[in-house]
Amino acid sequence: MKNNICYHHNLAVRENICKGCTHCMKRCPTNAIRIQKGHAIVDEEKCIECGQCLVACPHHAIKVVQSPFEMLFNYQVRVAIVPTMFLSQFEDEITNEMIYMALKKIGFTHIYLSELGIDIQNLLGIKDINTSGKNPIIANCCPSVSQLIRIKYPLLSPHLSIIKPPNQITAIFARAEMISQYKDPNSIGLFYITPCPAKISQINTAEKDGLKLFDGVLNLNTVYNLVHNCLTKNKKKFATIIDNVQMEFPIITKNSARWALLQNRGELKGKRSLAIDEIHQVIEFLEEIEENDEININFLELKACAEGCVGGILATRNKFLASERLNFFTSNLPEELDKSLINRIMKFKKLLTDNIFISPDTIKNSLTLDSDIEIAIHKLEKINEIVKVLPGIDCGLCGAPTCFCLAEDISQKKASIKQCAVLRLRDSKNLNTLAKIWGEQISSN
């Protein structure tokens, strides 16, 4: 298995549209954005793909790089791995059977709910574990949070669960089933419908590690629009045949289907667990537990989006209405898997067991001042000295979100102290002297 694979990024700034307004820079929870030459620049080492910039941008200058939908038709067998929260995006008059028929109509031949992966993990009797051997175990269900921990809170990184996320476990099972039925692996295409850009990055990064999971990842609102248009055109037809529709995807359990919601994990009864949503609240909590070894919690479920995956950046419906619909839908699901589905899963027990764990070294921890500890300490001292000189008002006019970030950039030779608008107004003549102190080259002009 390969180690230190760089994280794959899928958020991009459209420079021809970006106005350099700083909305995204101020919203970014990891200070990954700078404004340079009139438009936003994203530092990929700091970006966790949470999509806060996408939401904040009033000019729609940030895009999600995704697989083209037409790619489906390169395959004879076209499998959709669909999160249950996708079903919650529609109005109540649209039934799950109608959504199923529309997904088939737009091109998919087979459908699996991605949360089936939780049922598979439970059926195999594999518990969440981490490499530290200590509590808390932090679920790796949210790739933005996992990446945040790796780059900003590396001391907590060993606490991350090393079980693959549910959508990837489901993909392993679905591909195995399809190959057993259709024989030709090249005729089979698996596509995940994602509620957030971070899952696109997670999947593309995981595939660099060797195991083929998906052939494409589709933006949820793209698929939603296609399904919605299909339903609008075929609503009457679907309504007349709905009683005869047999949904062929595996029926998952109630607890697994609610995975998209923010909740404490059902299988942890009798243990202490905690669920926290919204990336800024998650960061506040991580700051707390990094400095406090006395927190007695067995399991943490941390999600970057408010209300969990139903509040995903690419979701189309109000997150509270979506949560209510998902709760209602799952109330009719069984507590246990059907025996026939259990038999289907157990046919591939060895394959699933052998591939259910991820390598803790797959993604490198990249947020460091320098690989040389002595140089890093020197740069940190330099940052602290620069911060004392800067005004400390975090105005953002320099193109960095805070004065500390500007000081950090200066120490890394990525910026100049002369970018500080406040210092230019206060004492422009002294700026060259300050710049020389921090090792900048000053032109004679």
Domain boundary among 15, 47, 65: 65
Q: Is residue 270 part of a domain?
A: no
Number of domains in the chain: 3
Query: How confident is the model over 237-284, as pLDDT tens digits?
Result: 777 776 666 667 778 999 898 888 876 554 555 678 889 999 999 999
Give me the CATH number covering residue 43: 3.30.70.3270
Q: Is residue 394 part of a domain?
A: yes
Q: Is residue 257 part of a domain?
A: yes
User: Does 17 share its domain with 43?
Assistant: yes
Q: Is residue 154 part of a domain?
A: no
Q: Is residue 141 part of a domain?
A: no
User: Does 438 share its domain with 319?
Assistant: no
User: Does 442 share its domain with 381?
Assistant: yes
| pLDDT digit string (tens) for the chain, length 445 residues | 344 444 567 888 999 999 999 999 999 999 999 999 899 999 988 899 999 999 999 999 998 888 889 999 999 999 999 999 999 999 988 888 889 999 999 999 999 999 999 999 999 999 888 888 888 899 888 999 998 998 888 888 889 999 999 999 999 999 999 999 998 999 999 999 999 888 887 777 765 555 678 999 999 999 999 999 999 988 777 777 766 666 677 789 998 988 888 765 545 556 788 899 999 999 999 988 887 767 788 899 999 999 888 999 999 999 999 999 999 988 888 999 999 999 999 999 999 999 999 865 555 555 566 667 777 788 888 888 888 888 899 999 999 999 999 999 988 888 888 888 888 887 766 666 666 655 565 554 4
User: Does 115 share its domain with 201?
Assistant: yes
User: Does 7 share its domain with 86?
Assistant: no
User: Does 117 share its domain with 244?
Assistant: yes
The contacts of residue 93 (CB under 8 Å, 6+ apart) are none
Q: Is residue 435 part of a domain?
A: yes
User: Does 5 share its domain with 120?
Assistant: no
Q: Is residue 116 part of a domain?
A: yes
Query: How confident is the model over 279-302, as pLDDT tens digits?
Result: 999 999 998 888 776 778 889 999
Domain boundary among 355, 383, 414: 355
User: Does 199 share its domain with 254?
Assistant: yes
Question: 409 is in which domain, residue-wise?
Answer: 369-445
